[in-house]
Amino acid sequence: MPYRDAYRRSLTEPDAFWAEQAQAIEWTLSPTVVLDRDDQRFPQFPRWFRDGVMNTCENAVDRHVRAGRGQQVAIIHDSPLTGAVTRVTYDELLDQVGRFAGVLRDLGVGAGDRVLVYMPMIPQTVVAMLACARIGAVHCVVFGGFAAPELASRIDDAQPRVVVAASCGIEPARLVPYAPALVEAFALCAHRPAHLVMLQRPQLAAAEVTGHDLDWDAAMAGATAAGCVPVSAEDPLYVLYTSGTTGRPKGVVRDNGGHAVALAWSMRSIYGIEPGQVWWAASDVGWVVGHSYIVYAPLLVGATTVLYEGKPVGTPDAGAFWRVVADHSVRALFTAPTAIRAIKRDDPTGALIGQHDTSSLRALFLAGERLDPDTYRWASDRLAVPVVDNWWQTETGWPICANPRGLDDLPIKPGSPSVPMPGFDVCILDETGAELGAGAEGAIALRLPLPPGTLSTLWRGDQRYVEDYLSTFDGFYASGDGGWRDDDGYLYVMGRTDDVINVAGHRLSTGAIEAVLASHPAVAECAVIGVHDTLKGQLPRGLVVLKAGEQIPAEQLQRELVALVREQIGPVAAFSHVDVVPALPKTRSGKILRKSMRGLADGRDEPVPATIEDPAVLESLRPLLRP
């Protein structure tokens, strides 16, 4: 079905369109109601497949074994940090998931109970997630290595019956012990989980946390496998915590049925991945990309998913990604622009790409932050495959806008994540909520109802859901991002709406200025923040990281960058201050901490996010940014 027809039908005939897509998964009881708008909590929000009954684990594992494909590899765990590669077939995955589901069942975990998973990028993490889905439990994966206060806040909010943890994570230069964080978190918690299951990794054994920890290996050895428990399509599959503006964590709730339908559709239609093909999402299971596109989507369609425990650079070099592609015949790679910029910084000519056979690669997908044109051109030129941007959020669970490579051969426009995906009615609104035409920049909002697979609510926060997302514009979900659309309907996301700065009454996108800075041949990556100015209100300030080996004098670079901004944005930007820095502060998922830098520049001490990759990088900028 060509894209235009699919998109039109998803908006004008949502019941018929999504009923067809629901046939891609197996149902215990097929839904007779596809779209129910009568939810009294949110009259404008739908309930998808309300009367359907199914099991996500059965769709991701069991049915592929029943179809005779049990010997196909389901998971490739590639860990340059341990020097090991492990392959898990669908038969083996079914055995491990069934037995760990039995462990959880015997610990008293039932449908609707929460299980908190605090583990690194290892196969057992995927096993724990699928085991929860198998018995109808709700998993809450917390990024491995989160500090104790963040872990404790999630335990208190989710109130898990069981915590499943590993003894350590592994970084290029150190081991990260998890037990101390667990000990401290349990001391901070008001809620006390009934059980802790600990996986002892050979790199570092963990001491007892609770005094009665259950050893993963011992529990698995004596376990009797549990079968799949049919659940309502509306029952929660997982809670995933994302950043919030209050002290309480914000848990996005994902349902079972709509999630499975949407992800199965997206894996084939957006990313072009079919059963048996090797797919790699270079992210972490602690983030939404890991949930959607390391674990669930590839397994739902019967593909092979790569689970990578390493970095884009330093494990051992900037050729690590291309080595993985070559070793495992990866057909498509999904990662963040930050990862490609890091590779480009260390290997600006792309020489390391030529050392590996990447001929299996058909496309590179990038998401998580704005894809600047220079990174797009670098990757496109050196890999000689389509480089495809896509834009979405933790809350939506799958792309809002993308280029559906498995559905249609749409043009790629650098700087744009392309066009809205089925069910996402994307609008550009002004401050009053009026729709803007092509070329006009405003707030990106999604007309209700949202499609299947998006958040159903916030955990223990129905009203907060309405306040945070549905109250800004009547009848719309407010994305929090700003941008514009061209005459062809392609979206251009310019960044969070709080990254729009006001210079002497002129609203300017920091993303647009960043695109100009990134186009300079010496710049590997950059960030632009708005800082307070007594005369103009705000002024843009740039920070740039140079490509490896660049020796351009700072004064010359500043002159050239200021001239570029003046030429391409105009004098109205009043851009005159840019600094060369060794690195930019980022979250572990690769997002640049612009809000934290803005706070420093304006004389505020913003709380350091728990997701920060290296606090020392932000601290090193304090003297530079302080007014």
- The pLDDT tens digits of the residues spanning 541-571 come to 999 999 999 999 999 999 999 999 888 787 7
Q: Is the alpha carbon torsion for 407, 412, 415, 419 positive or negative?
A: negative
Q: How high is the pLDDT of residue 505?
A: 57
Say whether both 145 and 274 belong to one domain.
Answer: yes
Q: Name the nearest CA neighbour of 368 among 293, 267, 446.
A: 293
Let me know if residue 607 belongs to a domain: yes
pLDDT band, very low/low/confident/very high, at 1 (cuts 50, 70, 90): low
pLDDT digits 0-9 by tens, 440-471: 999 999 999 999 999 999 999 998 999 989 99
Cα–Cα distances in angstroms (integers) from residue 556 to residues 9, 524, 551, 580, 595, in the given order: 54, 16, 11, 11, 28
Q: Would you say residue 246 has pLDDT above 60?
A: no
pLDDT band, very low/low/confident/very high, at 68 (cuts 50, 70, 90): very high
- For residue 287, give both structure tokens: 């983030």
pLDDT digits 0-9 by tens, 469-505: 999 999 999 999 999 999 999 999 987 776 777 776 5
Could you tell me if residue 397 is left (phi over 0), alpha (psi between -120 and 50 degrees) or otherwise beta? left
Let me know if residue 332 belongs to a domain: no
* SS3 state of residue 150: helix
For the domain that residue 616 is a member of, what is the CATH number?
3.30.300.30
Query: CA end-to-end span of the chain, whole Å?
Result: 56
Let me know if residue 495 belongs to a domain: no
- For residue 317, give both structure tokens: 């070099």
- Domain end call among 429, 459, 483: 483
Q: Would you say residue 244 has pLDDT above 70?
A: no
Q: Is the alpha carbon torsion for 412, 416, 421, 426 positive or negative?
A: negative
Say whether both 104 and 163 belong to one domain.
Answer: yes
Report the pLDDT averaged over residues 176-201.
95
CA dist., res. 409 & res. 363, Å (int): 13
- Which residues on neighbouring strands pair with residue 78, listed in sequence order? 85, 308
Say whether both 445 and 530 belong to one domain.
Answer: no
pLDDT band, very low/low/confident/very high, at 245 (cuts 50, 70, 90): very low
Beta strands per DSSP E along 256-300: 278-281
Return the higher-pLDDT residue of 42 and 215: 215
- Domain end call among 483, 498, 526: 483
Say whether both 206 and 293 belong to one domain.
Answer: yes
Could you tell me if 131 and 104 are in contact, meaning their C-beta atoms sit under 8 angstroms apart?
yes
Q: Would you say residue 192 has pLDDT above 60?
A: yes
Report the pLDDT averaged over residues 155-178.
95
- Give the predicted TM-score (pTM) of the model: 0.87
pLDDT digits 0-9 by tens, 25-43: 999 999 999 999 876 666 6
Q: How high is the pLDDT of residue 221?
A: 97
Return the higher-pLDDT residue of 366 and 149: 366
CA dist., res. 579 & res. 564, Å (int): 15
Number of domains in the chain: 2
pLDDT digits 0-9 by tens, 294-339: 999 999 999 999 999 999 999 999 999 999 999 999 999 999 888 9
CA dist., res. 332 & res. 383, Å (int): 12
Q: Would you say residue 75 has pLDDT above 80?
A: yes
Report the pLDDT averaged over residues 11-21.
97
Q: Which amino acid is at 514?
A: E
Return the C-alpha torsion angle 234, 236, 239, 245, nearest 10. Answer: 40
Say whether both 469 and 564 belong to one domain.
Answer: no
Cα-flanking dihedrals φ and ψ of residue 417, to 5°?
-80, 15
Say what percent of the chain tops pLDDT 70.
96
Let me know if residue 303 belongs to a domain: yes
Return the higher-pLDDT residue of 188 and 568: 188
Q: Give DSSP secondary structure letters for 433-498.
A: S-B--TT--EEEEEESSP-TTS--EETT-HHHHIIIIISSSTTEEEEEEEEEE-TT--EEEEEEGG
pLDDT band, very low/low/confident/very high, at 181 (cuts 50, 70, 90): very high
Cα–Cα distances in angstroms (integers) from residue 150 to residues 118, 207, 371, 373, 460, in the given order: 12, 21, 30, 36, 18
Let me know if residue 133 belongs to a domain: yes
Let me know if residue 569 belongs to a domain: yes
CA dist., res. 52 & res. 42, Å (int): 20
Report the pLDDT averaged over residues 116-125.
98
CA dist., res. 413 & res. 405, Å (int): 14
Q: How high is the pLDDT of residue 43?
A: 65
Let me know if residue 406 belongs to a domain: yes
Cα-flanking dihedrals φ and ψ of residue 269, to 5°?
-85, -35
Say whether both 297 and 203 belong to one domain.
Answer: yes
Q: Name the nearest CA neighbour of 325 among 281, 284, 288.
A: 281
Q: Would you say residue 274 has pLDDT above 60?
A: yes
For the domain that residue 442 is a member of, what is the CATH number?
3.40.50.12780
Say whether both 108 and 253 belong to one domain.
Answer: yes
Say whether both 452 and 535 belong to one domain.
Answer: no
Q: How high is the pLDDT of residue 145?
A: 66
Say whether both 139 and 267 belong to one domain.
Answer: yes
Could you tell me if residue 301 is left (phi over 0), alpha (psi between -120 and 50 degrees) or otherwise beta? alpha
Say whether both 467 and 541 belong to one domain.
Answer: no
Say whether both 416 and 561 belong to one domain.
Answer: no
Say whether both 194 and 67 belong to one domain.
Answer: yes
Which residue range forms the structural domain that includes residue 602?
516-625
Let me know if residue 343 belongs to a domain: no
Q: Name the nearest CA neighbour of 517 among 370, 361, 312.
A: 370
Q: Which amino acid is at 448?
A: L
Minimum mean pLDDT among 135-144, 513-522, 589-598: which range? Answer: 589-598
